[in-house]
A and B are shown apart, each in its own frame.
Chain A
Amino acid sequence: MVKKELSMQKLNKQIDILLDIIVESLLGAKSEEEAAALTLWPIPVPQGMLYFSDVWTKKLNRVLHLIEKRKIKSKEILKAIRFPSRIVQFLWLDAITFNNLSKKEKLYPIAKFLIFLSLFRKKDIFCENGKNILWNKKELEKHKRGLHFFSGKGKNLNKLISTFEAILWSYTELLYWTNHPFGHGFHGSYSIREGDLVVKEYFDLKPKAWSFSQGLNFSEVEIFEIYKRNTSSKIKLEFFERNIRTNQSIKQDLEKFALKVNGKIVKKPEEISQFLENLMEVIKKGSEIIQALNEQQLIEKYADYYFYAIKPLCDLVKENWHPPKQVRNNIYKKYKEINAVWEKVVKKNFEKTADLSYKQQEKILKEAFDPRN
């Protein structure tokens, strides 16, 4: 009993910290007189969530309970998830909280995700020192072994890697929209002999939910960047793996970089140019497809990839990851009804917050995102 109370106390404390981070991020990510979450492309998060967050959270509960019941080891769970940014994204709490499910159904997945994240991040869940450390020394050595480093000092190579990363990052946004961390994760900085190392992993770049993505010649990219020692004062990765505390580009301090594409070490700059060219072609095609979708189709896609993001967990217990029929029904048969809730209630409430003071907005958002309410 005492143990249960202590773990509840711990969870409450962690949720309080999480709410601080979420609200600070939401309010810091917008300019004044702008309602948080309404300017997101291509549809506002709360709008999409209205159609599937309860179904999704229920499914998640079932899958996590099955994992627990079948006593699947943590090591296997982490191996299946592979990239913690996937679960970090769920800890925005929007899908888990924006529904009428019970407190128990909301808190269970949050508690589980925080445990997984603690294991991934070597117990430092909230990246308190501005570092997101996933690899110990041994793991770091293993990943660095055999890498071919290019100099980051020359203008041409620096520009090539900068452009590749900007386009790659945008591509994950094209695939997963506001949930782009379903396709990338950043960690570090690791203090190594040559300087400060930041690792950028891009994955799931060819999800089946998007036919256009199948034209891409690669599905995973790992980028290793070594910056001048002490640049780390500018590299501060926070909970959501973003370097948000600066408006400075750190690329001028890039000493060297290396890449692995589909696990293969890249040895020539021309290869990067070819990847970039292929990426641009796929983006062009994808942009055309997305632009042609109507609102219902956009919401359907949103649901598809949100369910797809829990596929690694579903696979562990051999569950079908696809959204159940109910989601399509909500989107196509109950569209008018649900859209009216969005237009007349939720959107209006969000819009009203734009005129309020920071303190007032903070209070409203914390209440809205709190799974304990």
Chain B
Amino acid sequence: MPKQEIILKGIPASAGIAKGKVKIILDPSENSKMKKGDILVTEMTNPLFLPAIQRAKAIITDVGGLLCHAAIVSRELGIPCVVGTKRATKILKDNQKIKVDGEKGTIYQDN
């Protein structure tokens, strides 16, 4: 199997692997963009993002560490989460297919 290319790295905040389409949500008013099974990509989460989080298969954020909202909630929900990537919202594109490894803190292109 060919080695997958890492497109982004961050802090592994909640273990697990998930594949899905990217949905970049910069403001809670965009929560409805998220469809069940999408991967939530945002600067940082807070309780206003809950409707999007509940539909997310994984979460990726630009900022934050092991104690941020995204990290704690995703560990409770048992979904992968990578935080502190610094530029996920800039590098990833809506509907891009990716693979998230919450154990290693890595994000791969998933063709």
Contact = CB atoms under 8 A, between A and B. Distances in A.
Contacts of A166: 53, 73, 76-77
A247 B71 CA distance: 8
Contacts of B76: 162, 165-166, 169, 249, 251
Interface in B46-98: 46-48, 50-51, 53-54, 63-69, 71-73, 75-78, 83-84, 86
A242 B67 contact: yes
A283 B63 contact: no
Contact of B47 (A25, A171, A251): A171
B66 A28 contact: yes
For chain A, what secondary structure do more than half of its interface residues adopt (helix, strand, loop), or is it mixed?
helix
B13 interface: yes
A134 to B, nearest CB: 21
For chain B, what secondary structure do more than half of its interface residues adopt (helix, strand, loop), or is it mixed?
mixed
Given A41-B46, A247-B13, A29 B66 contact: yes
Given A25-B67, A39-B44, A247-B15, A31 B10 contact: yes
A42 interface: yes
Contact of B84 (A31, A42, A167, A283): A31
A290 B28 CA distance: 12
Contacts of A162: 76-78
B103 A247 contact: yes
Given A30-B84, A31-B64, A247-B14, A283 B50 contact: yes
A163 interface: yes
A31 B69 contact: no
Contacts of B16: 249
CB-based closest 9 A-B pairs: A31-B84, A166-B76, A41-B46, A174-B47, A29-B67, A170-B47, A29-B65, A249-B78, A249-B75
Interface of A: 25, 28-34, 39, 41-42, 162-163, 165-167, 169-171, 173-174, 242, 244, 247-249, 251-252, 280, 283-284, 287, 290-291
